[in-house]
Amino acid sequence: MTNTSLPHDPYNVIITGVGGQGNVMASRVVGQMMSRRGLRVTIGETFGASQRGGSVMSHLRISKESYWSPQIPKGKCHLVLSLEPTEALRVLMNYGNPSVSVICNTRPIHAIGVISGDQQYPALDDIKRWVAELSEACWFLDATAKAMELGNPILGNIMMIGAAAGIGALPIDREGFAAVISTTLSADKRDVNLQAYDLGVGMVQ
């Protein structure tokens, strides 16, 4: 993949998860990485309810020439980065198609309906099978567990970015990541974020 080549134009990415997982931060980092390469980027975010246990999504549109709607049209997503297993299914229901790729964190976050016993959370193996059925390619990684080894579960979001680089789905690399976080994160946080990025790359290779 050359520096700015995109498999589709616009290339559509959804980063999804539950409020508080660092979804918005991840989308901005990826957006900045693309923007630095001279690509046109539009990001649509759902937040407000985002830290209140709701499902959250960021839609990224990446294009060489033009800007696009901050909402991806139904069925037109190319890559899903899901920080929570069932959220991948929720995204595929609306934006999936047979040629979509999915990278999915395997750590569940139970909705209050599940905590209270009113709803059932599916078995992880079932979720994996369903995601595989609805996508062309999928990767599952326990990013949260690895992130906790680094000292903070929120670093799972950075691992997902590393994983996206690892599968070659986006024109992003470590150098671009380092450059973006050098302007957005305080110095003491950069090393651990780079470690998380590297672990993410490793988990899909």
Partner 1 sequence: MSIISTGRQGERYLLMGNEAIARGALEAGVSVIAGYPGTPSSEIIETLAAVSRDHNLYVEWSVNEKVAMEVTAAASFAGLRSLCVMKQNGVNVGSDFLLHLALTGTRGGMVLVHCDDPGALSSANEGESRHFARMLELPLLEPGDFQEACDMVKWAFELSEQIHNVVMVRSVTRLSHASGNVVFGELPDGAKKAYFKHGGFILDPLEGPMASLPAPYRHQQQQEKLKTVVAGFEKSPFNTYTGPEAPELLVITSSACNLYCKEAIHLLGVENRVGLLKLGTTWPLPPRLMEKHLRRTDKVLIVEEVIAFLEENVKILAAELAAKVGAKTFFGKREGNIPAFNEMTPDLAVAALAEILDIDYQPVTQAYAERSKELGSSGAPGRDLTFCAGCPHRASFWTLHNVLQMDGRDGFVCGDIGCYSMAVLPTGFNTLKTLHSMGSGVGLANGFGQLGRFGMDQPVLAAVGDSTFFHAVLPGLINAVHHQSDITVVVLDNSGTAMTGFQPHPGLPVDAGGNEAPAIDIARVCEAMGAVTRIGDPFDIDNTRRTLLELLEIKGLKVFVLKQMCALSPEKKAKKMYAVTVDENMCLGQSCGCNQLCTRVFKCPGLNWDKEKRVSKIDDVICAGCGVCASICPSGAIQRKEVA
Long-range contacts of 149-154 (CB under 8 A, 24+ apart): 150/192, 150/195, 150/196, 150/199, 151/192, 152/192, 153/107, 154/21, 154/22
Q: How far is CA 2 from CA 7, 71, 173, 177, in A?
A: 11, 27, 11, 17
E strands along the chain, which residues?
11-18, 40-45, 55-63, 79-82, 101-105, 137-141
132 CA to centre of own chain:
17
Contact with partner 1 (CB under 8 A) among 126, 136, 149, 191: 126
Smallest gap, in angstroms, from Cβ of residue 205 to partner 1? 26
Minimal distance in Å, beta carbon 81 to partner 1? 16
Q: Which residues inside 61-120 make contact with partner 1, applying CB under 8 A?
A: 67-76, 86-87, 89-90, 92-94, 96-98, 107, 109-117, 119-120
Q: How far is the CB of 171 from partner 1 (least distance, A)?
A: 15
Does position 45 interact with partner 1 (CB under 8 A)? The reply is yes
CB of 151 to partner 1, least distance (A): 11
Q: Which residue in this structure is represented by tokens 């609306």?
A: 94
148 makes contact with partner 1 (CB under 8 A): yes
User: Any contact of residue 172 with partner 1 (CB under 8 A)?
Assistant: no
> What residues form DSSP beta bridges with 55?
18
Give the binding site for partner 1 (CB under 8 A): 18, 20, 28, 31-32, 35, 40-49, 51-55, 67-76, 86-87, 89-90, 92-94, 96-98, 107, 109-117, 119-122, 126-127, 130, 133-134, 144, 148, 152-153
